[in-house]
């Protein structure tokens, strides 16, 4: 019995309407080759078989009831799926070779006559099976090469994606560094210049100023110091988020009591500008988040609204249940934000410098910190604004721990 390479065992289909002929061919093949033998007794049965499974070689009688071998061969060759299956016709002696020509025209590889010469059939099968095995091995090798190529392509894509992520991280890190030093060099330095200047005036010419002027200077120093402290606090919080040192301890807590404490603190700043600050948060609303982070977010959003709202204006802190989330909104009737600046509010690499209604300079760091804290708490932040009509900042925070 001839072994096939790499355990390749061909599927050979024997087609004949006489059972004895099928038995004879099967016995001859099985005594010389390792093969899977499939049997068929009609052309119609052949077409069903090759439609359902892969066949490597067909040995087919020509004269069969119904569809003969020639018609069956033509149909096999007309199907893209089966056109390459080798067909060997086995039929009666053909002295004129007309049947041979007809068989070749139908797409057969060879034509053998009955009675079958065992040695001749074995020789022909050996030749064809060697060819089929070689083709199988080539296809197997090509598939392996193709798989290796696909793996290399995927590895390259993964490497390129990793490099792209690294480039984006490096770009963000550089933008963060630039923003950091910009704030230190300008936004943190300038207030101290003001504090030092006013303090020097008081020290050098204290007696030349009236009590009212002295109080105004002291109030200016206090206000500048407070605003600078808030900026420094944001700067420290933000730097901790960049280095991964900030503690994250989410828990479920009552929102109303926290909001009340925050508004009490911010009302001082709002009152200095004659701005009405209101809080409308139901007592039963609870969220799951890091308390300190959400406190910082709400405080920053309220102070931001105070900065950009004119005297006599109104700011509302509200909240509502939205299914698995709670929407917390800060709404003001301030100066609003242009469409051009809306898309840049939460981007560290944007250099948007804005001034409050009393000339307060904004760095944009507070909103960037808000977004990072909200993201950390599996939430989302969005803004709606119209120039001259005011803005609404909304953060969505989970109700429970299922989104963590």
The DSSP code sequence of 271-332 is HHTT-EEEEE--TT-EEEEEHHHHHHHHHHHHHHHHHTS-TT-EEEEEEEEETTEEEEEEEE
DSSP codes of every residue in 76-126: HHHSTTTTT--EEEEES--TT-HHHHHHHHHT-SEEEESSP-HHHHHHHHH
Distances (CA, A) of 328 to 289, 316, 376: 13, 11, 16
- Going by pLDDT thresholds of 50, 70 and 90, the confidence category of residue 69 is confident
Residues 6+ apart with CB under 8 A from 335: 308, 309, 310, 357, 387, 388, 390
User: Which pTM does this prediction carry?
Assistant: 0.48
Distance between CA atoms of residues 238 and 365, nearest Å: 8
Residue 349, φ and ψ in degrees, nearest 5:
-90, 5
Distance between CA atoms of residues 309 and 356, nearest Å: 8
Distance between CA atoms of residues 142 and 149, nearest Å: 10
Question: Do residues 303 and 356 touch, judged by C-beta distance below 8 A?
Answer: no
Distance between CA atoms of residues 25 and 42, nearest Å: 16
- Beta bridge partner(s), residue 3: none
Confidence check: pLDDT of 276 > 60: yes
Confidence check: pLDDT of 123 > 70: yes
Distance between CA atoms of residues 333 and 345, nearest Å: 18
Pair type for strands 325-332 and 390-398: antiparallel
Confidence check: pLDDT of 201 > 90: no
H helices present in 183-210, as ranges? 189-205
Question: Do residues 396 and 325 touch, judged by C-beta distance below 8 A?
Answer: yes
Q: Stretch 13-40: mean pLDDT, rounded?
A: 89
Q: Stretch 90-111: mean pLDDT, rounded?
A: 72
Q: What is the pLDDT of residue 192?
A: 76
Question: Do residues 403 and 378 touch, judged by C-beta distance below 8 A?
Answer: yes
For 382, the enclosing helix (H) or strand (E) is strand 380-386
- Beta bridge partner(s), residue 355: 361
Per-residue pLDDT tens over the stretch 282-329: 998 999 999 888 988 998 899 889 989 999 999 999 999 998 999 999
Per-residue pLDDT tens over the stretch 222-274: 877 876 777 677 667 766 666 666 678 899 999 999 999 888 878 877 888 89
Domains and CATH numbers, the chain: 5-141 (3.40.50.2300), 188-245 (no CATH), 247-404 (3.30.565.10)
Per-residue pLDDT tens over the stretch 290-299: 988 898 899 8
- Going by pLDDT thresholds of 50, 70 and 90, the confidence category of residue 173 is low
Per-residue pLDDT tens over the stretch 341-392: 887 777 765 555 565 666 555 556 778 878 888 998 999 999 999 999 999 9
Q: Within a 13 Å sphere around the CA of 364, how many CA atoms are in the beta-carbon half? A: 19
For 58, the enclosing helix (H) or strand (E) is strand 57-61
Lowest-confidence pick of 134-148, 171-185, 377-391: 171-185
């Amino acid at each position: 019995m001839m072994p096939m390479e790499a355990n390749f065992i061909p599927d050979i289909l024997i087609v004949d309407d006489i059972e004895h002929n099928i038995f004879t061919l099967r016995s001859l093949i099985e005594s010389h080759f390792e093969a899977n033998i499939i049997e068929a007794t009609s052309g119609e049965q052949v077409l069903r078989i090759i439609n359902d499974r892969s066949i490597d070689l067909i040995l087919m009688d020509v004269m069969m009831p119904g569809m003969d071998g020639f018609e069956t061969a033509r149909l096999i060759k007309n199907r893209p799926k089966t056109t390459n299956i080798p067909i060997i016709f086995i039929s009666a002696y053909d002295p004129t070779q007309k049947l041979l020509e007809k068989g070749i025209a139908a797409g057969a590889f060879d034509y053998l006559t009955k009675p079958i010469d065992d040695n001749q059939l074995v020789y022909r099968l050996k030749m064809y099976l060697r060819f089929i095995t070689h083709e199988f091995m080539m296809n197997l090798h090509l598939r392996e090469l193709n798989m290796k190529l696909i793996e290399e392509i995927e590895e390259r894509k993964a490497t390129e994606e990793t490099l792209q992520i690294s480039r984006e991280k490096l770009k963000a890190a550089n933008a963060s560094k630039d923003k950091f030093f910009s704030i230190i060099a300008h936004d943190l330095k300038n207030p101290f210049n003001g504090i030092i200047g006013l303090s020097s005036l008081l020290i050098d010419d204290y007696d030349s100023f009236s009590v009212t002027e002295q109080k105004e200077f002291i109030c200016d120093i206090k206000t500048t110091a407070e605003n600078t402290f808030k900026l420094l606090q944001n700067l420290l919080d933000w730097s901790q988020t960049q280095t991964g040192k900030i503690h994250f301890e989410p828990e479920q807590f009552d929102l109303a009591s926290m909001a009340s404490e925050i508004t009490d603190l911010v009302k001082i700043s709002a009152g200095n500008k004659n701005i009405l600050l209101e809080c409308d948060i139901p007592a039963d609303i609870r969220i799951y988040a890091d308390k300190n982070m959400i406190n910082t977010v709400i405080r920053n959003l309220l102070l931001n609204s105070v900065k950009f709202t004119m005297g006599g204006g109104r700011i509302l802190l509200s909240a509502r249940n939205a299914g698995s989330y709670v929407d917390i909104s800060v709404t003001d009737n301030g100066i609003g934000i242009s469409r051009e600046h809306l898309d840049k509010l939460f981007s560290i690499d944007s250099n948007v410098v804005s001034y409050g209604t009393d000339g307060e300079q904004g760095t944009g760091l507070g909103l960037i910190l808000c977004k990072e804290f909200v993201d950390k708490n599996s939430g989302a932040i969005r803004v709606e604004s119209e120039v001259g009509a005011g803005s609404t900042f909304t953060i969505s925070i989970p109700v429970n721990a299922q989104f963590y």
